[in-house]
Amino acid sequence: MEITQLTAVQIADAVRAGTLTATAVVDAHLARIAQVNPDVNAVTVVLADRARAAAAELDTRIAAGEDPGPLAGVPISVKENIDLTWSATTSGLPFFADLVPRSNATFVQRVLDAGAIPVARGNMPDVGLRWDTDNDLFGRTLNPWDRERVPGGSSGGDAVAVATGMVAAGLGNDYGGSLRLPAHAAGIVALRPSAGRVTAPSREADGGPVSLSLQAFAVNGPLARSVDDLDALFAVLHGADDRDPLSVTVPHPSSYAGPRRAAVTVDPVGWGVEPQVADAVRRAADALVAAGWDVEEVEPPQVDRAATLWRQLSATEMAPALLTPGAFPGPLSDGTVRYFRDNVAGVELLDTSAAYQAAWAERFAIAAAWRAFQSRYPVVLGPVVTERMPLIGYDLSGPEAVTAQWRSHRLLVTANFLGLPAVAVPTGVTDGAPQGVQVIAALHQDHVALAAARAIEAAGTPLTPVDVR
């Protein structure tokens, strides 16, 4: 097996055992980037010199008998909106092209200390706003399975880099499905951790204000090619951070021995689901049954309200900054502006104090209903999205399209709205495109979501690394 086909855990084990050097691992992945990236444009910056130097240093430490860390030699990508001092944190914006951070994000430093080696930056839509990956600074990332369809977003570059073997794992973030959606499109796995388990985007700014929706909905997390990789990465990433007042340290068990019951929702809220998506959910349910889980087809509470309030709150908070002339520090791409204007046109903004407060109050009631529901069903299994990944440009074709896309993502954004952990995991390929599901666990029960995802994964075969089509 080629080095670039190995999982992160396999690479770390081999480097620690001395059967592979970190230098050989990094060189193989840099060669893969040179071969593949021109066809997909997933990687924005190649960190070749720094990566080779870090690999050589790691090899020297191993030769001296030092412990290289649990992620020894694992080549990773880091999304363009995550602070890594090796390059600018651009968020896909031309006017941030020289914004090199003074320090690494805490969770980035944790993976570096664990032996991982950044080899590239991953592309994203500017500001991370769209469910697609395109911007004026780096251009469009292409879906390696189907060049006519979007790769998802906003962590689309990292997902494609992982899926094509350019890196073994990626670091991204998830405010409205931005880890799970591109992972689903790429045929890989991703973990959206519980709120507070991994420092969220923008919380490490120097005392600047952070919107309530960003505090509640957003979190950083890993993308990889196996659930074991997600588990190994999360074990390093999670934990409280002195710079993030909402971060927490909660033990992360290595296994799950609790009740194995799952609620299955094939068509959340009954808004419609395409046949191949329904089939994927039912295949995943069968995999859980075969692994000893009790499965019942039952609707989780108030997904319609959770998804609606997620959209209203996010649009209400973003509108002043994105639509008021001069409010943002520079121009956004035409696509981002058009998408957001169409989004606002299709949603009732919470433009009074009473309406805004009532939305947050209702969130508490919905969270309580989910807490009670998940005391009976520790896992909720359902679709990532209820339709096939759209053609490029669909999300810019008018307010009706933006609303239809949000409806398809209703269970995806429900996890964000409630701050719950969720894992996207593939189930197979239908008509040349990956299909998959997500499993959502209760707050701080990330290990439960990983356990269910591992059972689903075991019933199938890996879909990646994939060759570019």
Mean pLDDT per 10-residue segment, the chain (469 residues)? 97 98 98 98 98 98 97 98 96 95 95 98 96 98 98 98 98 98 98 93 59 94 98 98 92 95 98 98 98 98 98 95 82 94 95 97 98 98 98 97 98 98 98 98 98 98 90
Residues 256 and 291: their CA atoms lie apart, in Å, by 13
For the chain, what are the domain ranges?
Answer: 3-458
User: In terms of Cα–Cα distance, which of 278, 262, 304 is closest to 386?
Assistant: 278
Those residues with Cβ within 8 angstroms of residue 453's Cβ, 6 or more apart along the chain or in another chain? 189, 227, 230, 423, 425, 439
Q: In this structure, which amino acid lies at residue 65?
A: G
Residues 307 and 294: their CA atoms lie apart, in Å, by 27
DSSP string, 322-373: HHSTTSSSSPPPHHHHHHHHHHHHTS----SHHHHHHHHHHHHHHHHHHHHH
Query: Is 226 one of the catalytic residues?
Result: no
Residues 307 and 91: their CA atoms lie apart, in Å, by 25
Catalytic residue from among 77, 87, 91, 154: 154
Query: Is 397 one of the catalytic residues?
Result: no
DSSP string, 394-418: GGGS-HHHHHHHHHHTHHHHHHHHH
Q: What is the largest CA-CA distance in the chain?
A: 64
Say what the pTM is. 0.97
Residues 81 and 393: their CA atoms lie apart, in Å, by 23
Amino acid 206: pLDDT: 53
* Cross-strand bridge partners of residue 362: none
Query: Is 194 one of the catalytic residues?
Result: no
Residues 130 and 108: their CA atoms lie apart, in Å, by 24
Catalytic residue from among 77, 79, 155, 314: 79
User: In terms of Cα–Cα distance, which of 53, 86, 55, 85 is closest to 68?
Assistant: 55
Catalytic residue from among 87, 155, 178, 213: 178
Domain 3-458 sits in CATH at: 3.90.1300.10
